[in-house]
Amino acid sequence: MSMSVCRICGKKYKSCSTPNTTNTFRWRDVACSVECGEKYLYNIQVSRGLIKPEPVAEVTETAKVQTTESKRTKASKAKAQITE
């Protein structure tokens, strides 16, 4: 095992020292976790034009408040049912 630097989060991690001689994606060669590996592969595919970048959803302040409120409402309703 050799130490590498994750190309997504920059964290040091133990990478596999055996070579990969196929064009399959082996996340441990480039990233510290599956999640970072997925992000790196996505970035590579976008940079090579293999996939289109996903549009980043704009989260407005109103939407954030609504989401929080709805969660609170659901939680209080559930609490009320348990009490009853």
Partner 1 sequence: MPKIVDVDDIYITEYDTLEGYNGTEHLFTLDELQNVKISNSEDASDVKGKKGRRLGRLKQNKSVTISGTSGIISGGLLALQVGSDFTTSDTAPIKYSEDVTITGNTAVISYAAVGTTGNEIAKAYIKDENSFELELLTQDATVSEGKFTYTPDTKTLTFNEGAYADGTVVTVHYFRSVKGAVLENNSEKFSGKCTLYLNARGEDTCGTVHLVQIEIPVADFSGSFDLEMSDSQTTHPFEATSLAGSCRKLNGNYWKYTVFDID
Q: Which residues bind partner 1 (CB under 8 A)?
A: 5, 7, 19-26, 29-30, 40-41, 43-48
Q: Given the complex with partner 1, which of 23 and 60 has the nearer CB atom?
A: 23
Q: How far is the CB of 4 from partner 1 (least distance, A)?
A: 9
The answer to whether 20 and 26 have CB atoms below 8 angstroms apart is yes
User: 28 CB contacts (<8 Å, ≥6 apart)?
Assistant: 15, 16, 37
Q: Where are the alpha helices (DSSP H) in 1-84?
A: 34-47, 61-83
- Minimum CB distance to partner 1, residue 36 (Å): 12
- Between 7 and 33, name the residue whose CB sits nearer to partner 1: 7
